[in-house]
């Protein structure tokens, strides 16, 4: 994908602003080889990609103006969050409840080998290896905002493709109305699994039209690298118009169902976390306002907060999904 910036009336390619050209070209060549099955076993393996990414350590957090996504009309004017902030300020309760805990503790997660099972109300249930998933569709770099209920947000360049590419492959049945996402819950490698904070494994869900929307991303990387463990390695969901906890990490199962699935935070506190969890500045969390937010790494404690945007700024793309719904009742 060609990411573009616009400055003083000129449009410039910006992929090299995120990743140095040699690294960018090498990554794209590797993706081509993997797609054709021509890569050697060592290079095609997830371990090989991880080693390459860690050795390259491309430039991170470069400011980008007017980034245009592959999805028509999805544009953010915001500066990309610094990599060090996006990878050290995380919610991932399997590794601790403090924002800094995942970066400290997630090194214990084993991400290879890895499989994701897709089943339920589909014609062609299947179990995919990580390599199979990565070769299923061309990967793109998309700059998406991610919003958290505690009042903070960040802007991250994700690497992946529209989840619909996978969902279409298994051919959902006509009575499939929802998609449930189940994540890894291994107490041997995830030290806080078993705590009473949540009901494990962590589960999330979307209506099928939300899951099939082109903005909904199946992500394998960020900032031109493979996903760090603390950010949801090796594969995660990214739903940019919803609060961050809807974007389930470390996916192991995707299940189609005719009933609204029970989700982790809705089970834990139904009065605070609704099934839809769309970013809506007019619906306050019971313990804080959602009308404003702080951008991680950019706004100091006493800096002026940003106004929260409806659907996190993606209202033109997703607003029609909720036509006629009471968004305060269906929060």
CA distance 255 to 137: 20
Tokens of 28: 């794209």
Give the alpha-carbon dihedral of 314, 317, 322, 324, to 10 degrees: 110
Residue 302 burial (10 A CB sphere; 0-12, 13-18, 19+) = exposed
* Phi, psi at 107, each rounded to 5°: -65, -15
CATH superfamily of 4-322: Oxidoreductase, molybdopterin-binding domain (3.90.420.10)
Tokens of 149: 């209920």
CA distance 110 to 116: 14
Give the alpha-carbon dihedral of 174, 175, 181, 187, to 10 degrees: -130
Tokens of 168: 């279409």
Q: Which of 278, 210, 217, 213 is nearest to 244 (CA)?
A: 278
CA distance 329 to 269: 15
Which sign, positive or negative, has the C-alpha torsion 309, 313, 315, 321? negative
Tens-of-pLDDT digits for all 331 residues of the chain?
333 333 233 222 233 333 333 333 344 444 443 444 444 333 344 444 443 333 333 344 333 323 344 565 565 668 899 999 999 999 999 999 999 999 999 999 999 999 999 999 999 999 999 999 999 999 999 999 999 988 899 999 999 999 999 999 999 999 999 999 999 999 999 999 989 999 999 999 999 999 999 999 999 999 999 999 999 999 999 999 999 999 999 999 999 999 999 999 999 999 999 999 999 999 988 898 899 999 998 766 677 889 999 999 999 999 999 999 999 999 9
Bridge partners (DSSP) listed for residue 76 = 67
Half-sphere exposure of 77 (CA within 13 A, CB side): 3
């Amino acid at each position: 994908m060609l990411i573009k910036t616009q400055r003083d009336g000129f449009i410039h390619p910006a992929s090299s602003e995120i990743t140095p050209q040699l690294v960018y070209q090498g990554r794209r060549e590797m993706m081509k080889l993997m797609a054709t099955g021509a890569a050697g076993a060592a290079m095609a393996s997830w371990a090989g990609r991880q080693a390459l990414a860690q050795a390259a350590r491309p430039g991170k957090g470069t400011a980008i103006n007017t980034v245009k996504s592959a999805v028509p009309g999805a544009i953010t004017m915001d500066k990309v969050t610094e990599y060090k902030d996006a990878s050290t300020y995380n919610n991932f309760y399997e590794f601790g409840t403090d924002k800094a805990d995942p970066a400290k503790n997630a090194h214990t997660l084993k991400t290879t080998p890895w499989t994701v099972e897709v089943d339920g109300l589909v014609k062609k249930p299947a179990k995919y290896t990580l390599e199979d998933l990565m070769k299923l569709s061309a990967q793109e770099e998309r700059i998406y905002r991610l919003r958290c209920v505690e009042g903070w947000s960040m802007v991250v360049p994700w690497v992946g493709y529209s989840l619909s590419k996978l969902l279409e492959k298994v051919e959902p049945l006509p009575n499939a109305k929802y998609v449930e996402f189940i994540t890894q819950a291994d107490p041997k490698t995830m030290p806080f699994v078993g705590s009473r904070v949540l009901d494990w494994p962590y589960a999330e869900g979307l209506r099928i039209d939300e899951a099939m929307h082109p903005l909904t991303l199946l992500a394998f990387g960020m900032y031109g690298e493979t996903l760090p463990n603390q950010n949801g390695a090796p594969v995660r969901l990214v739903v940019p118009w919803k609060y961050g906890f809807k974007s389930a990490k470390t996916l192991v199962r995707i299940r189609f169902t005719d009933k609204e699935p029970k989700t982790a935070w809705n089970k834990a506190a139904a009065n605070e976390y609704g099934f839809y969890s769309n970013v809506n500045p007019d619906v306050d969390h019971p313990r804080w306002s959602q009308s404003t937010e702080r951008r991680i790494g950019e706004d100091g404690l006493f800096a002026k907060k940003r106004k929260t945007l409806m659907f996190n700024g993606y209202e033109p793309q997703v607003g029609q999904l909720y036509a006629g719904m009471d968004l305060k009742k269906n929060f």
